[in-house]
Structure 1
Amino acid sequence: MIPIQNTTAPHWSTELAQAIKSPAELMPLLGLSEQTLPPAAQAMTSFKMLVPRPFVARMEYGNANDPLLRQVLADDIEMLPSAGYSKDPLEEGNHNPQKAIVHKYERRILVITTGTCAVNCRYCFRRHFPYGDNQLAQKEWDSVIDYLTQHPEVNEVILSGGDPLMLKDSQLGPHIEKLNALPQLKRLRIHSRLPIVIPNRINHELLEWINNSRLDIILVLHSNHANEIDQAVAEKVALLKQAGVTVLNQGVLLKGVNDSVEAQVDLSERLFSAGILPYYMFTFDPIEGGAHFDLSVSFAQRLMGQVAEKLPGYLMPKLAKEIPGQPAKTVLAPTLSR
Structure 2
Amino acid sequence: MRKGLRSTNEVNSHFGLNLEPSSYEVFIPSHMNELIQKEGLEGIHAKQFLPSNLENSDDGLEDPIGDQQKYVAPQLIHRYDNRALFTPTTICPVICRYCFRKNELSSKHEIFKADFEKVISYLSVHTEINEIIFSGGDPFMLSASKIKFYLEEFSKLSHIQFIRFHTRTPISLPKYICDEFIEVIHKFNNRFNDINVVIHINHIQEITTDAMDCIKKLGARFSLLSQSVLLKDVNNNVRDLKDLFLKLHALNIRPYYLHHPDQAKGAMHFYLSIEEGREIYRKLRREIPGWLLPQYILDSPDGSGKKNL
TM-score by length of 1: 0.84
C-alpha contact (below 8 Å) 1:114/1:131 kept by paired residues: no
2:19 matched residue in structure 1: 39
Q: Is 1:19 matched with 2:4? A: yes
Equivalences for residues 325-336 of structure 1 within 5 A: 325=302, 327-332=304-309
Question: Residue 316 of structure 1 is aligned with which of 290, 293, 306?
Answer: 293
1:231 matched residue in structure 2: 209
* 1:106 Cα offset (Å): 0.6
Give distance in 1, aligned partners of 2:149 and 2:180. 12
1:134 matched residue in structure 2: 111
Equivalences for residues 79-228 of structure 1 within 5 A: 79-82=56-59, 85-129=60-104, 131-137=108-114, 140-213=115-188, 214-215=191-192, 216-228=194-206
Give distance in 2, aligned partners of 1:108 and 1:269. 30
Q: Is 1:293 matched with 2:270? A: yes
Distance 1:54 1:297, change over 3 A: same
1:66 matched residue in structure 2: 43
Distance 1:116 1:74, change over 3 A: same
Q: Which amino acid aligns with 1:258?
A: N
Distance 1:246 1:150, change over 3 A: same
Deviations 1:29-60, CA, capped at 9 Å, x for gaps: 7xx6x2xx35231x1xx112211233334446
Gaps of 5+ in 2: none
C-alpha contact (below 8 Å) 2:140/2:177 kept by paired residues: no
* 1:148 Cα offset (Å): 0.9
Distance 1:327 1:89, change over 3 A: closer
* Partner secondary structure for residue 134 of structure 1: helix
Question: Residue 261 of structure 2 is aligned with which of 261, 268, 284?
Answer: 284
* 1:111 Cα offset (Å): 1.1
Distance 1:223 1:27, change over 3 A: farther
C-alpha contact (below 8 Å) 1:114/1:136 kept by paired residues: no
Deviations 1:208-244, CA, capped at 9 Å, x for gaps: 222211221111111111111122222222222222x
TM-score by length of 2: 0.92
Task: Please give the root-mean-square deviation of Cα atoms over the aligned residues, in Å.
Answer: 2.0
2:249 matched residue in structure 1: 272
Aligned length: 304
